[in-house]
Chain A
Amino acid sequence: MNKIQVETSINGESVEFLCEPQQTLLDVLREELSRTGTKEGCATGDCGACSVLLDDRLVCACLVLGAEAQGKEVTTIEGIATEEGLHPLQQKFLEHAALQCGICTPGLIVASKALLDKNPDPDEETIRYWLAGNLCRCTGYDKIIRAVQDAAQELAHPA
């Protein structure tokens, strides 16, 4: 087996790891780097639980090889909160009870952040279509949408 040495940046921190050629970024994050915030839901790119940002682009980590992270910036759920505290999205998810078991939540927060970074004032339809790649078994989605809308408001007009 030829292990590959990868130099990357995860949540702003330089990281080096070794991985098998066929290992996905999801495997690497969870198994090699113990960053278990990113979840595996399907391993086929359908559920979005493994959503991360790769050079600010929203992707499924299960569809990216660990080797492809070379030289790139990876943002995971662990990088969403700052030293000041929770990101407004995280705060609003809590306030709106937009999670129950929480397995979809890291992916939804990352996906929602990718949306608001790109489009700070999305309408409801835009939010729903953007989050179509993130499945939730528990909440029925509505509270998630309200949380994202509220977070967008908060970001646009900080209290």
Chain B
Amino acid sequence: MAGYAYVAPSSLDEAVALLSEHAGQGKRVQILAGGTDLLVQMRSVDNSPRTIVDIKQIAETNRLDIGARETFIGAAIASAVLNENADLKALFPGLLESADLIGSAQIQGRASMGGNLCNASPAGDTIPPMIVNAGICVIAGSAGTRELAVQDFVTGVGTNVLKDGEILLGLKFPNPAPRTADAYLRFIPRTEMDIAVAGAAVCLTLADDGTCTAARVAIGAVATTVLLVAAAADALIGTKVDDTALAAAATACSEASTPITDKRGTVKFRRKVVGVLCKRAAAIARDRASS
């Protein structure tokens, strides 16, 4: 009877070969990065045996590369490591803050953005900022590498597009244009360690006179997946991101949201709060882009 197994491939080729072999034999595999979701789920949700494939020894999943035009963040890099990189924080403050919000110092010592995305919780904090920063997933499999926009990666609660035999290598982000900045805010009932009740990420670009020329707004924890709200972005573009524009963006977010009522919040509360968060995040992004 097959029990658990653990393997830590030292190269991407080895990892892909291993995953393909298991897929071919119908053997269950589970990819391990930080383990802060996986180990919890293994104990409380589903403890059936599987081969755990640790991707942390692979060069590509650990690669952090701030290039001239784009930045690559390897799927296995821990949040704590990312948040020690001042250049990365300066480029993508909202994205890095979202990683910094998750869990505790202990969690951040292991948890990765790649894992947060693949885990595909509706409330995954790094997902809205990934989307507003136009993140691209780089996926490797036996057929080679493919790329996909982050907003197309998560397919439902806890599900993503990765096929058997595939690994998320990392995320690519175009470096922000001048006078472009992002922000992410979430509501949690306590001060730390909670799961988002609602979250909003905004990335916007300002012209020299302060007019918004581009915007992306994504809301989290208020639908089965993170939603990219075009109407909220449209409410900001062409404006000076003043109170009227902010209010319109907030309304658009509330209207786009389809939250549930659960122990963390009611439908009514979440619809209201996601609008408020959108407003505040847009104001922060505007102020960051202006400075």
Contacts and interface: CB of A to CB of B under 8 A. Distances in A.
Interface residues of B, number: 31
Nearest to B56: A68
Contacts of A46: 193
A132 B107 contact: no
Given A21-B4, A51-B106, 12 more contacts: A20-B4, A45-B106, A54-B109, A57-B80, A57-B110, A60-B106, A65-B32, A65-B54, A67-B54, A68-B35, A68-B56, A133-B106
A76 interface: no
Interface residues on A, range: 20 to 34
Contacts of B107: 45, 60, 63, 133
B161 interface: no
A57 B104 contact: no
Interface residues of chain A: helix, strand, loop or mixed (majority)? mixed
B86 interface: no
Contact of B54 (A1, A68, A111, A134): A68
A46 to B, nearest CB: 7
Contacts of B42: 22
Interface string B54-78: 1010000000000000000000001
A59 B39 CA distance: 13
Contacts of B5: 2, 21
B269 interface: no
B192 interface: yes
Contacts of A51: 106
22 contacts: A1-B4, A20-B4, A22-B42, A22-B52, A44-B44, A48-B104, A54-B109, A58-B105, A58-B106, A59-B109, A60-B106, A63-B34, A63-B106, A63-B110, A65-B32, A67-B54, A68-B8, A111-B105, A132-B105, A132-B191, A133-B104, A133-B106
A80 interface: no
Contacts of B110: 57, 59-60, 63-64
Interface centre among A2, A115, A130 (most CB of B within 10 A): A2
Interface in A72-105: none
B20 interface: no
Interface in A8-32: 20-22, 24
Interface string B91-133: 0000000000001111101100000000000000000000000
Interface of B: 3-6, 8, 32, 34-36, 39-40, 42-44, 47, 49, 52, 54, 56, 78, 80, 103-107, 109-110, 191-193
A114 B103 CA distance: 17
B190 to A, nearest CB: 9
Interface centre among A22, A43, A54 (most CB of B within 10 A): A22
A46 B193 CA distance: 8
Nearest to B43: A43
A25 to B, nearest CB: 10
A68 to B, nearest CB: 7
Given A43-B43, A44-B43, A45-B36, A67 B6 contact: yes
A155 interface: no
Contact of A65 (B52, B109, B193): B52
